[in-house]
Amino acid sequence: MTVYPEVTKSAWKVLIFLSKKSASPSEIARSTGIPLSKVSVSVSGLITAKVLKPRKGYEILAMDTSLRNSISTLLLDFPENQFVDLLCGVRLNILFQVSEGYNTMTKLKLITDYPEVTLKRVLRQLQDALLIYQSNRGIYELRDAFKDKITSLKSVFLAHFFESLKAQGLTWKKILVFGDSILIKSEQVHPPGFVQTGFSRFHKYKIGLMMTRDNYFINSEKEPTKQEVFVHALAFSINDARYLLYCMLFADLNKLTLKKLKDLVAIYRVEKEAASIFESIKTKSQEYIELRREYARD
């Protein structure tokens, strides 16, 4: 399951053309000089990725307004050929992950699984194009002039991905995206392609304090580890003091440590929350002591 598609150069040229006008594949081929066979393959891939809507028969291809506006806005800053070169292949995903806060080489390797040589090459290209910069050595950030534009483009691609999930019968109350890992909070019991995690698995570790009709899932074929269950629950607990207490209880009773969590806290962007929980376990806050007593009575 890939959240952000790797858009080829030909596919980007098709999208750029459609951002200006609706057209048939043959018209796009004639106007751009791209062989019709390549246009057809590109269109097929974009439809599969839900970037373009399927057409009926000989119906012309059209682009939704949000994607058209996002592409048109970025084309004000870059010539078409440079635009295509900057966002084709893995570059789009790397740029989006930087915007999500995976802003070091270590974090980008964790979240994308791309080779370091690839990441270095792409990051250098994005810096040369002035899309990103290093706020400190080895820390990459979007330039202020492009934050809103890249966020807008990312939101469009993310919306298309969510549409593909809904087409598979998925429903949710909350959805969290971390690279290609998807966490959902849902009233469904067996969503296709997902397994239970987070609070839905606390009872397997003899913690039955969570009273909720909601279920928590991750897109995976294998059951999550104890460490993953904890971190996934923590990802849903940000800014929720009660849920954070339950996470603290889970970590304490299962003798978890930051060291045992390894890279998970970086992947799911809960470094601060995890550090705070383990510090609180040491200090034993009054609220946590009361929760332990409640758990002991049950």
Question: Could you state, in order of their start, the residue ranges of all structural domains in the chain?
Answer: 9-146, 174-297
Q: What is the pLDDT along the chain (298 residues), one digit of tens a residue?
A: 799 999 999 999 999 999 999 999 999 999 999 999 999 999 999 999 889 988 887 789 999 999 999 999 999 999 999 999 999 999 999 999 999 999 999 999 999 999 999 999 999 999 999 999 999 999 999 999 999 999 999 999 999 999 999 999 999 999 999 999 999 999 999 999 999 999 999 989 888 765 668 999 999 999 999 999 999 999 999 999 889 989 999 999 999 999 999 999 999 999 999 999 999 888 877 777 877 777 765 5
Q: What was the pLDDT predicted at 23?
A: 95
DSSP string of the chain, one letter each residue: --SS--B-HHHHHHHHHHTT--B-HHHHHHHH---HHHHHHHHHHHHHTTSS----TTPPB---HHHHHHHHHHHTTS-HHHHHHHHTBTHHHHHHHHHTT--SHHHHHHHH---HHHHHHHHHHHHHTTSEEEEETTEEEE-HHHHHHHHHHHHHHHHHHHHHHHHTT---SEEEEETTEEEEEES-SS-TTEEE-GGGGGGGGT------S-EEEEE-SSPPPHHHHHHHHHHTTTT-HHHHHHHHHHHHHTT--HHHHTTHHHHTT-HHHHHHHHHHHHHT-HHHHHHHHHHHH-
pLDDT score of 260: 94
What is the reported pLDDT for 211? 60
If one looks up domain 9-146 in CATH, what number appears? Answer: 1.10.10.10
Name the pTM for this structure.
0.93
